[in-house]
Structure 1
Amino acid sequence: MPAQPVPVSEVPCREAIGAAASARLVERCIQVSPATRPPCNAANPCDLIQGEIDRSCKLWERDGDPPAACKP
């Protein structure tokens, strides 16, 4: 049986974009997430980490004064 490709959404972010880029994404996630156990870990898929950033920034924007990490 041939090897099955791993869907992109299941590839660890560190493998998908490299250690340095994933570390920056994780750091940004940690800065903005109000969750007690956010998915801000390079072992998680990048889309999961980015989703947490997007979700968190929407909360900050709704409540006012979002952190600098939410601004492009």
Structure 2
Amino acid sequence: MPLVRLRDNEPFEVALRRFKRICEKTGVLSEIRRREFYEKPTSVRKRKAAAAVKRQQKRTSMERNRYTRPNY
């Protein structure tokens, strides 16, 4: 859990903003949303496999675009 300490004469709103930024960077909120409901192990495997396929397609697309000339 991210921890934010109030500095001398620091307004609460500034500390709250820092806390929100830290939570966003560490992915706490997305992790909570992901774990909100039980996900079956088969669903987890299926989601991870789909993400891997999507990453691979994106990588091959980027490589293909890198070696082709732009049509200006």
Normalised by the length of structure 2, the TM-score is 0.32
Find the structure with the greater CA-based Rg.
2
- Name the structure where helix makes up a greater proportion of residues: 2
